[in-house]
Amino acid sequence: MFLNGTMIGSRLALFATGLTLVYGIMLIINFAHGEFYMLSAFAVFFFVEKLGLNYFVSLVLAMIVVGLVAIAAERIFFKPMRGQHIPSFIMSCGLAFMFQVVAVLAFGIKDKSIDTVFPGVITILGASVSVERLMVSLISAILIVGFYIFLLRSRSGRAMRAVMQNPEAAALQGVSINQVCSLGMGIGAALAAAAGGLLAPIFIFNPWIGPALTWEGFIVVCLGGKTSLPGTLLAAFILGYIKSFVTTLVDPVAALMCGAAILGIILTLRPQGLLGHE
Amino acid sequence: MNAPLLEVRNITKRFGGLIAINKLSFDIHQGEIVGLIGPNGAGKTTLFNVITGFYPPTEGKAFYKGEDITGFKPHKLVQKGIARSFQLTTLFSNLSVFQNVVMSQHLHIEVGFLGSLFHTPGNCEKEKATEARTMELLKLTGLDSQRNVLAKNLSHGYQKILNFTISIGTNPELLMLDEPLCALNPERIAAIQRLILTVRDKGVAILVIEHNMKALFPLCDRIIVLDAGMKIAEGTPKEVGGNPEVIRAYLGGAIDVSDRR
Amino acid sequence: MNKNSWIKWVGLAAVVITLFLIPVFIKSPYWMGVFTLMGVYIIVAESFRYIVTTGEYSFAHVPVMGMGGYASALLAMKLGLSFWLALPLAVLATAIISILIYYPCLRTTGTFFFFASFAFGEVMRLCWVRFTNPFGGVGGLRDIPRPDAIDIPGLPTVEFTLLSHTSYYYLILVFMLFSLLVMYLLEGSRLGAIADAIKESKVLASFVGIRVWRYEMIIFVIASAFATLGGSLYAHYMTLLVPNEFYWGLGIYVCVWAVVGGTGHFAGPIVGTIVFGLIRELLRPFPQLVPLIYGLILAATLAFLPQGLISLPERISPWIKKGLAKIKER
């Protein structure tokens, strides 16, 4: 149960960090984020099952592919909407629809899954834990850490942080806003794609898993503070644990209700989230 | 000396560790024009925000005509007779000048709801009365030629005047103006100066935040000077202009305040 | 009345008469069903737009519609009330519930409002899934009774059985016209002017004495009342009510219909609902493509026609005038 929470938390963390990144840099709401996750799961499926590639290679390929798709989407569809919440949200809904249809046309409407990559069960502290889930949590953690290192150390990372804090000042310093936005979108999508690919062997997926996940992502983003990346991490794990516990102790629907209720309460009582600032 | 209209008593406002206003007290009397000056960051707009209900003071109280209005929300204050203009032009952007000023009379429109729903003849009469009053206000402030222009399409100067018109449209007894002369050319400044005096002559008390002291001082009966959230001087423009504390607060520059009274 | 409004009145009357005459020309029960549902959706889309007149986008609107359906259905099924009684009671009950839902949302605005309204709406919807006892859980409610027949002495009895497609069409037509009329009048009244002010600047609105939260709540409740109406009509028409119907999908569709149609004009959502409804029908043979086409239209409209489809005539008319002028020259 605890590990499940960790795993869910880390998946959410990957997913939601991407969402926060997109929002923070471009001030747009991307409802299609869940679709990036979904497309990646299908991409990994395609690479592994149809092309016979190694899982890890497929994962990386999927991240790249989805990232590129996202950058294209940003350039074509989101560019004029930067900073406008509602129009960008509606636009992203349109995109979500389109991605869903693409997935349906390419892969059909049936559920799919991928074979477990890390079979077996090990025992930790008296509880039996599937190696798969453990590895997912680990790899997620590695990716998140890697992302943070990128954000803090690399030049592009610093550029992104600058734009998140003050776009005009960043532009004056010579940062190309367009490049940063595209990069941000690409990386954000890649993170979601990573989550999708990592969880493909564990959960069944179909073209419509996007929206439910996107709403969860929004809950995490709002809970943590919309522009705060550490907040997103914290919130992701809090939500992951709560969901895991409530699902086991009560039932899955109650877990969803908890999530929705948390969103409502946070927004009305403390709109800046846990770690945000307003 | 009549009883004060507005009494501010020991208002303190803290934001986290920052003290924006520190035990500030002063009075405004009916028919007075009082200027509020101070260097940037002195807390002038914060004071307005506290009095007009944007956020409650950390400590202290405010009274209007003897009634405790501390923490009252904006719409309640407008009901009591306090109006405020804004530094950045806060307007109903997509409405015309005329519609903007009609809205400003919200509290005084006697149009009944059902009447407006079905456009009864009685309703039309009352609407005409409102429109007449709106035209009066527009003529008074010189906006009648622009009445059908959308607020967002007005020039900056006219937007400021519209802001001013809206605040007097609420029929206040106390008018709080936040930098009404900011970024205006000399003609406009003169126009607003005249408006301020006209409004005062109708019995309205006015509290004005302004940086343009040359334009402000001739209008005011009194000046209050704020620095770092505290009142450092209060008096007639001449007294304040010569006050060394005040000069020091503005970092050494002598303040040109030829008192034209 | 000047010439222009005379034309408008005549045009409007012509449209209404046509709507009443449709069943005379189109007998197919399938198309009756399509139009009937479209009528319901128009009520919901237009009342969604009513909320947008205050500047807020509510994602609780569709769950409220669902609540209306559930309330009306439960009153009819558990308490044995006739539809005609259940409907007004459902509107009342849901109005109260909508107050509870929107009350916390009043503290929020813009994106926050949008998410908060979604959150509370979703909590409500999940209640229908979780509490199988009154709400029927995932499977929902079945066998919701149709309205009782109208039996006015001297006039033929009007029945609403599962086969009476035409009479249900008229029922919804009447309710739809009523709802549109009320909302139109409201918008032209003081309440509409106040909503405009709130949308433009909440701050300034409160500084001219408008109690923003009070008027917002009034508008939300009125909109919810119409959503309830739509929900109840929907429930008793379909005789089946499933929680998943009112999930994000329908909420987004309603938003799309209203926005693509044009939230600036009263008739925008009507246009949007009809256009998308027709597209859906045209694409019956290819159901998978529906979201794709929806998405493309959505993207295209936002990019090229931000004020919605209803602004199309305005945009095109300068070109038409130029074209006509050129033809005259020759």
What is the interface pTM, i.e. ipTM, of the complex?
Answer: 0.82
C120 within some domain? yes
What confidence score (pLDDT) does residue C176 get? Answer: 93
Query: Using one digit for the tens of pLDDT, what is the confidence trace for C289-301?
Result: 788 888 888 878 8
Residue of A nearest to C123 (CA): A257
What confidence score (pLDDT) does residue A28 get? Answer: 67
Higher pLDDT, A211 or B58: B58
What confidence score (pLDDT) does residue A126 get? Answer: 54
What confidence score (pLDDT) does residue C45 get? Answer: 93
Domain endpoint, select from C198, C213, C246? C246
Residues 6+ apart with CB under 8 A from A84: A27, A28
What confidence score (pLDDT) does residue A124 get? Answer: 61
Mean pLDDT of B207-212: 89
Which among C189, C209, C210 has CB closest to B117? Answer: C189
Note whether B93 contacts C: Cβ–Cβ < 8 A.
yes
Q: Closest Cα of chain A to C71: distance in Å?
A: 20
pLDDT band at B251 (very low <50, low <70, confident <90, very high): low
**From A51-60, B184-193, C173-182, C185-194, the region with the lowest mean pLDDT:** A51-60
C251 within some domain? no
Mean pLDDT of C10-24: 85
Residue of C nearest to A220 (CA): C115
Same domain, C141 and C203: yes
Query: Using one digit for the tens of pLDDT, what is the confidence trace for A19-40?
Result: 666 666 666 667 777 788 778 8
C173 within some domain? yes
pLDDT band at C323 (very low <50, low <70, confident <90, very high): confident
Q: Closest Cα of chain C to B250: distance in Å?
A: 32
For residue C101, the enclosing domain spans: 29-246
pLDDT band at B33 (very low <50, low <70, confident <90, very high): very high
Higher pLDDT, B105 or A140: B105
Q: Is the pLDDT of residue C143 over 80?
A: no
Buried-state track B154-187, b at ≥16 Cβ within 10 A, e below 16: beebbbbbbbbbbbbbbbbbbbbbbbbbbebeee
Which of C51, C106, C112, C124 is the best mutation test for A, with the most CBs of A within 10 A? C112
Same domain, C73 and C194: yes
Mean pLDDT of C61-66: 92
Are β-strands B33-37 and C240-241 bridged in parallel, bridged antiparallel, or unpaired? Answer: unpaired
pLDDT band at C63 (very low <50, low <70, confident <90, very high): very high
Which residues of chain C have a CB within 8 Å of the CB of A29? Answer: 111
Whether C208 sits inside 8 A of B104 (CB atoms) is: yes
Element at B232 (helix H, strand E): strand B230-235
Query: Using one digit for the tens of pLDDT, what is the confidence trace for A90-125?
Result: 788 888 888 888 888 888 777 777 776 666 666 665
Higher pLDDT, B107 or B103: B103
Which of B89, B90, B124 is the best mutation test for C, with the most CBs of C within 10 A? B90
Are C190 and B130 a contacting pair, CB within 8 Å? no
Domain map (residue ranges) of chain A: 2-207
Q: Is the pLDDT of residue A138 over 50?
A: yes
Complete DSSP assignment for B190-227: HHHHHHHHHHHHTT-EEEEE-S-HHHHTTT-SEEEEEE
What confidence score (pLDDT) does residue A11 get? Answer: 65
Mean pLDDT of B67-87: 88
Q: How far apart are the first and last CA of chain A?
A: 35
Same domain, C233 and C268: no
C18 within some domain? no
Are B37 and B212 a contacting pair, CB within 8 Å? no
Same domain, C58 and C200: yes
Same domain, C167 and C81: yes
Same domain, C178 and C234: yes
What confidence score (pLDDT) does residue A69 get? Answer: 84
Most confident of A71-85, A104-118, C56-70, C99-113: C56-70
Q: How far apart are CA C260 and CA A32, in angstroms?
A: 19
Q: Do chains B and A touch (3 or more CB pairs under 8 A)?
A: no
Whether A267 sits inside 8 A of C116 (CB atoms) is: yes
Q: Is the pLDDT of residue A199 over 80?
A: no
Which of A23, A27, A97 is the best mutation test for C, with the most CBs of C within 10 A? A97
Beta-carbon contacts below 8 Å between A and C: 108
pLDDT over 90, % of chain A: 0
Q: Is the pLDDT of residue B120 over 50?
A: yes
Q: Closest Cα of chain B to C191: distance in Å?
A: 8
pTM for this one? 0.85
Same domain, C228 and C187: yes
Query: Using one digit for the tens of pLDDT, what is the confidence trace for A53-88?
Result: 777 777 888 888 888 888 888 887 777 777 677 777
C23 within some domain? no
**At B170, is the secondary structure helix, strand, or coil?**
coil
